[in-house]
Amino acid sequence: MQNILNTIKNNALREIENIKSGDEYIKLEKKYLGRNGEFTKAIKDIKSLAEKERPIVGKIANEIRIDLENGFNKIKEAVLETAGDIKGSVFSFDPTLQSKKQEIGHLHPTTLIQNELMDIFASMGFMILEGPELESDYYNFESLNVPKTHPARDMQDTYYIKPDKKLCSSQIVLRTQTSNMQVRTMHEYGAPLRAIFPGKCFRNEATDVCHDNSFHQLEGMIIDKNISVANLIAVMEEFLSKVFKRELKTKLRPAYFPFVEPGFEVDMNCIICDGAGCPSCKNSGWLEMIGCGLMHPNVLKAGGIDSEEYGGFAFGLGTTRMIMMLHEIADIRLMQSGDIRFTKQF
Ligand code: PHE
């Protein structure tokens, strides 16, 4: 068996040396390596060899195959391509043939909506800032009027990271809200200011169709003189109508957030069930879209801003939830499922 293989190899290599054209190349490749080629046929007998011999001969056969392939490749480069003999052979290039379709990816719906919102708010004079997802307890809670023992901590349970005491003395958390940027931004820019902060947030949630343990929010904040709830409502209505490009029913109801006073929630009618009630809106017909309110004086104080001179408002909306409404997606968990059948639809 080994002798047969070696003979085939020697014959093949000798013949390869003498190839002069593309046609000869094809013929010879077929003669040895084609489906009914001499080498291909010979190695079929390996399986009938004694069990001990099989791996030995198999290895030799593999080496011979590589030698033959190398021989063919070498002659292709050395003789045929340099001589330009590519006509009518496997090397020919037909520009009219269709190319293999390239699959091009695209942006995730979360990124798409975020980009759209950034455009809308930029047109209203807001600057766009990004904040850290790994945040100190201070910026995520304490500076926002939520001291360590405050019951409001229960509203947003999160993942606590054990800090390296040498590097950091404060408790580190995965941020529960983009509000972590409020006091950071005041420290950086002072008053007056107008900014939005899009980004990812995390909560220790039992997941269901409308809750996930990571999701996206977009927070906004204006600090200036003579700011009132009327300004807040005007900005909310302006951007909602721009995003949904249709007439929406909204309602403003009082809500509690420790860092605003008074605080509100803007609800909009559920587009999935048109207000009739479905699992996505917990059968209420309404969806909480935006938490908002006038800046609490304690928060302005934490940011080093005189609350007698300046006021402001802040709002936070769930961009993930907004996409669900826009595209009538009934289960939030699809958003980060990584299921390509889902993401391909956008
Ligand atoms: N951070 C709040 C939340 O995640 C939303 C909010 C932002 C409320 C700003 C009021 C003002 O629920």
292 lines ligand 1 (CB under 6 A): yes
Using most ligand atoms within 8 A of CB, pick from 145, 179, 214, 236 the residue to mutate for ligand 1.
Answer: 179
| Whole-number CA gyration radius for the chain | 34
For 314, the 3-state DSSP assignment is strand
Give me the residues paired with residue 267 across strands: 251, 288
CATH of domain 109-343: 3.30.930.10
Please state, in angstroms and as integers, the Cα–Cα distance from residue 147 to each residue in 133, 139, 151, 292, 338, following that order: 20, 11, 9, 20, 37
- Percent helix, strand, coil in the chain, to 5, is 45, 20, 35
221 lines ligand 1 (CB under 6 A): no
Cα–Cα nearest to 321, from 333, 310, 313, 338: 333
Cα of 327 vs centre of ligand 1, distance in Å, is: 23
Give me the residues paired with residue 200 across strands: 216
Round to whole Å and give the CA distance between 290 and 236.
8
315 lines ligand 1 (CB under 6 A): yes
The string over 8-23, giving b where at least 16 C-beta atoms fall within 10 Å of a residue's C-beta and e elsewhere, is bbeebbeebeebeebe
The CB-based long-range contact list for 138-142 (8 Å cut-off, 24+ gap) reads 138/170, 139/180, 139/181, 139/183, 139/184, 140/173, 140/175, 140/176, 140/177, 140/179, 140/180, 141/173
Task: Give the H/E segment covering residue 10.
Answer: helix 2-17
202 lines ligand 1 (CB under 6 A): no
List per-residue pLDDT tens for the chain, 346 residues long: 888 999 999 999 999 988 887 788 888 999 999 999 999 999 998 988 998 989 999 999 999 999 999 998 888 777 666 555 544 445 556 677 777 888 888 899 999 999 999 999 999 999 999 999 999 999 999 999 999 999 988 889 999 988 777 777 778 999 999 999 999 999 999 999 999 999 999 999 899 988 899 999 999 999 999 999 999 999 998 888 888 887 778 889 999 999 999 999 998 888 778 889 988 788 999 988 899 999 999 999 999 999 999 999 999 999 998 888 888 888 999 999 989 899 888 8
291 lines ligand 1 (CB under 6 A): yes
Instruction: Kindly compute the dihedral angle of the four CA atoms of residues 146, 151, 155, 157, in this order, to the nearest 10 degrees.
Output: 80
Joined tokens for residue 244: 């949904």
Give the atom of ligand 1 at the shortest distance from the alpha carbon of 221: 9
Where exactly are the structural domains of the chain?
2-85, 109-343
Phi and psi torsions of 211, nearest 5° = -130, 140
295 lines ligand 1 (CB under 6 A): no
Cα–Cα nearest to 174, from 207, 211, 215, 145: 215
One-letter identity of residue 126: F
177 lines ligand 1 (CB under 6 A): yes
pLDDT at 105: 87
pTM value > 0.95: no
The string over 168-182, giving b where at least 16 C-beta atoms fall within 10 Å of a residue's C-beta and e elsewhere, is eeebbbbbbbbbbbb
Please state, in angstroms and as integers, the Cα–Cα distance from residue 157 to each residue in 38, 60, 202, 205, 290, following that order: 71, 64, 9, 8, 19
Task: Give the H/E segment covering residue 23.
Answer: helix 22-33
Using most ligand atoms within 8 A of CB, pick from 183, 203, 219 the residue to mutate for ligand 1.
Answer: 219
For 260, the 3-state DSSP assignment is strand
